[in-house]
Amino acid sequence: MKVEARILDVTSTLEGEKVGMSIDEGALSHIMSVLTDLYSDPELAVIREYSTNAFDAHRDAKLDRPIEVTTPNKLSPFFKVRDFGEGLNAGDIRDIYSRYGASTKRESNDVVGMLGLGCKSALTYTDQFTVVGYKNGICTQVVVSRDENGSGSMTILDQFMSDEESGVEIVIPVKSYNDFEEKAADFFKFWEVGTVLVNGETPDPIDGIWITNDLLLTVETDEPKVVMGNVAYPWLGNGESMRFGYSQTRYNLVAFVGIGDVSFVPSREALAETKKTRETLIALKETFEIERVPALTKLVTDSPTRHEAIDSYFKARALGLREDVVWNGEVIPTKFVPAKIDTVFVNVESNSYYRTKGWTKTVELPSNVEHVWIKGYDSDKFTPTKREKLNQWKAKKNLESKYFIFCGELPDNHQWIDKSKIYDYAEIKAEVLPKKAAVTDGSRPTGSYDAFVGGVSSRGIPADDLSRIELFWVHGSSGSGGYGYHPTPHGLSEILKLHPNATVVTLGANRIAKFERDFPTAWNLGTYLRTKATEWESNISDADRLAWLMHEDRDTYGFLKKLDPKLVNDPVLKKAINISKRDIKKLLDEEVMWSGFICIDRDKLKSPDPFENYRLAAKLYLTNLEDCDISEMYVYFNAVYETAKKG
């Protein structure tokens, strides 16, 4: 990219010797170290710098094909970028790639780079990475390292004949915990389709409402952006004036500009506040304001169906459209009202279970809310039995809508409702509910109870409406200062993991005996969970139990994970090393779940101490050993073992 010239109008009246500034030769290592550590987000810097370098290589070679990016996984813990440009040989490495500030791109706006810093950016993340160049049938393998003084150096390891396509591959080892996959997905969504493959697939491009071919309103980014050369930069300043919509759905403006239209800081993490950048942003704002209303109007009028036109219309209103819009000669309605004056809509919230918090009467509904409409309903009330039928029917239909609107007749402007969202009440009414289990003495339970049904707090549930399946109780009520209506009982989160639809009734002490008579199959929540916790603990395998102990006692056993079992002769120690590397994430998650009810019993461990015969190892804080020291420990372990074997 061409560098924007900074012209200074300086008039000086000072006289005397003029001394030009330079970099002290003795400070070069320090300067190179500072240039390497430019980046606040090393992972994103690695993705950005090497992928844009690869993109530039394709532009230089006039190639119309994607670069190839591979994100790390367990089998291959490397981030890789491969281009198919002209490639690199040993001479290119010496003359350009190895020099900070050296760049061949400062005289062209066809490519993105120009600083000569990005190719060394991996050194801010790792101390060593590999560059593989293919050029004219020769493969050149180079290791780029960070020296003790903080600067970088390159070692040409090998050169040999190769039939690989020309180009460059960057191979960067990653840390065990990294966000390369997530950051790559976010970074490459701004790239033009066909310019990059990530793990062999085209990334999902960013989408939203296109105001022009270069101006996009989208909810897929958390702040306004300016995209130049495939790199998305935050809008200069806080960009608040380029945010639109309402609190829950905020649209941000993403502007795509030509290479050279804006300038960036050396780290390429932000825009530089130059005259050219300011002029470009002002022009973008002006274009946006001119084109916004026509584009939003077209968004609505081009909608293929009525209900999509409604959705687009409300979206456009939130984004600044103030005018009424006519779709196919019809005025778009903003609300639905009952067809008859003396009737109402019964709005049933499917997430609630009982009348007190489950349904409302209404005579007006906004037309943009996603409702399921149930016609042919002849009441203005809703009962628990009807709700059970609704839930059963909804599950069969696999409907996830939160609100169901019951009405005798659809509103007069029902043609604006999505036909796939309209059903007959006769379907729900015809549902046959499973019979509830009879109580032991033949009587029907009476009274009402406060409970958590599927984790939702409800009050005053009629006794006969309580589910007999997955029914639990706890001691505590609002009257006795216990769990009450809003506070959640101990064990609720655990029981919902085992039984997502469980009903947990809260009882005062004076109601427990009657409840147990009426519901003899109900479990005391604490008793049930302690029983399940005991079953879980007793079923932990010896290998998992020992791996758990090693995880807990990191000071003693943490060192084992650093060892390679293939380099150890002692079968007992070898087994312990393998166990220490065992994946016990599931066990640790389960331990957190059951920690309030039981602890893992350490006394059940029968395996011997792997360090029993290695007194030196028992006295060292082994987890702090460096790799060179670990190599010496192999010698020690094997020497002790072989000596003991010989007797």
The long-range contacts involving 564-573, CB below 8 angstroms and separated by at least 24 positions, are 567/634, 568/634, 568/637, 568/638, 569/637, 569/638, 569/641, 569/642, 570/613, 570/637, 570/638, 570/641, 572/608, 572/610, 573/610, 573/614, 573/637, 573/641
Average predicted confidence (pLDDT) for the chain:
82
- Per-residue model confidence (pLDDT) at position 268: 84
State pLDDT tens for residues 314-334. Answer: 889 888 888 888 999 998 999
pLDDT confidence tier of residue 577, bands split at 50, 70 and 90: confident
- Per-residue model confidence (pLDDT) at position 20: 45
pLDDT confidence tier of residue 438, bands split at 50, 70 and 90: low
For the chain, give the percent of residues with pLDDT over 90: 40
Domain boundaries of the chain, sorted by first residue: 27-198, 209-301, 335-429, 448-534, 540-646
- Per-residue model confidence (pLDDT) at position 30: 41
Nearest to 353 by CA among 483, 450, 434: 450
- Per-residue model confidence (pLDDT) at position 114: 40
Cβ neighbours for 12, distance < 8 A, ≥ 6 positions apart: none
Asked whether the predicted pLDDT for residue 482 surpasses 60, the reply is no
Classified as helix, coil or strand, 453 is: strand
Rounded Cα gap, residues 205 and 189, in angstroms: 4
Mean pLDDT of 336-365: 79
CATH assignment of 27-198? 3.30.565.10
* Position 32, amino acid: M
Listed ranges 171-180, 542-551, 563-572, 632-641; the one with the highest mean pLDDT: 171-180
- Per-residue model confidence (pLDDT) at position 322: 83
Structure tokens at 214: 């270069």
- Per-residue model confidence (pLDDT) at position 611: 72
- When comparing pLDDT for 583 and 468, which is higher? 583
- Per-residue model confidence (pLDDT) at position 563: 83
- Per-residue model confidence (pLDDT) at position 550: 83
Mean pLDDT of 246-250: 69
pLDDT confidence tier of residue 183, bands split at 50, 70 and 90: very high
- Per-residue model confidence (pLDDT) at position 160: 93
* Position 66, amino acid: P
Region for residue 64 given its phi and psi (left: phi exceeds 0; alpha: psi -120 to 50; beta: otherwise): beta
Nearest to 557 by CA among 510, 620, 600: 620
pLDDT confidence tier of residue 6, bands split at 50, 70 and 90: very low
DSSP 202: P
pLDDT confidence tier of residue 245, bands split at 50, 70 and 90: confident
Asked whether the predicted pLDDT for residue 129 surpasses 70, the reply is yes
pLDDT confidence tier of residue 607, bands split at 50, 70 and 90: low
Asked whether the predicted pLDDT for residue 242 surpasses 60, the reply is yes
- When comparing pLDDT for 422 and 478, which is higher? 422
Alpha-carbon torsion angle 187, 190, 195, 196, nearest 10 = 30
pLDDT confidence tier of residue 287, bands split at 50, 70 and 90: very high
**CB-based contact 82:71 (threshold 8 Å):** no
Statement: the pTM of the whole predicted model exceeds 0.85: no
**CB-based contact 180:43 (threshold 8 Å):** yes
Rounded Cα gap, residues 197 and 179, in angstroms: 18
**H-helix segments, 338-420:** 355-358, 384-397
Asked whether the predicted pLDDT for residue 258 surpasses 70, the reply is yes
- Per-residue model confidence (pLDDT) at position 13: 53
For the chain, give the percent of residues with pLDDT over 70: 81
State pLDDT tens for residues 489-518. Answer: 888 889 999 998 889 999 888 889 999 999
- Per-residue model confidence (pLDDT) at position 109: 40
- Per-residue model confidence (pLDDT) at position 582: 87
The 3 state secondary structure assigned to 540-574 is CCHHHHHHHHHHHCHHHHHHHHHCCHHHCCCHHHH
Rounded Cα gap, residues 209 and 576, in angstroms: 58
Asked whether the predicted pLDDT for residue 624 surpasses 70, the reply is no
- Per-residue model confidence (pLDDT) at position 140: 93
Distances (CA, A) of 30 to 34, 273, 595: 6, 27, 52
Mean pLDDT of 121-133: 88
Asked whether the predicted pLDDT for residue 381 surpasses 70, the reply is yes
Rounded Cα gap, residues 487 and 490, in angstroms: 9
Asked whether the predicted pLDDT for residue 529 surpasses 90, the reply is yes
- Per-residue model confidence (pLDDT) at position 281: 94
pLDDT confidence tier of residue 282, bands split at 50, 70 and 90: very high
- Per-residue model confidence (pLDDT) at position 112: 47
> Worst-scoring range by mean pLDDT, 117-121, 228-232, 454-458, 493-497?
117-121
Half-sphere exposure for 420 (CA within 13 Å, toward CB): 8
State pLDDT tens for residues 207-239. Answer: 999 999 999 999 999 999 999 999 999 998 877
Rounded Cα gap, residues 367 and 334, in angstroms: 5
pLDDT confidence tier of residue 81, bands split at 50, 70 and 90: very high
Cβ neighbours for 269, distance < 8 A, ≥ 6 positions apart: 39, 40, 41, 44, 45, 233
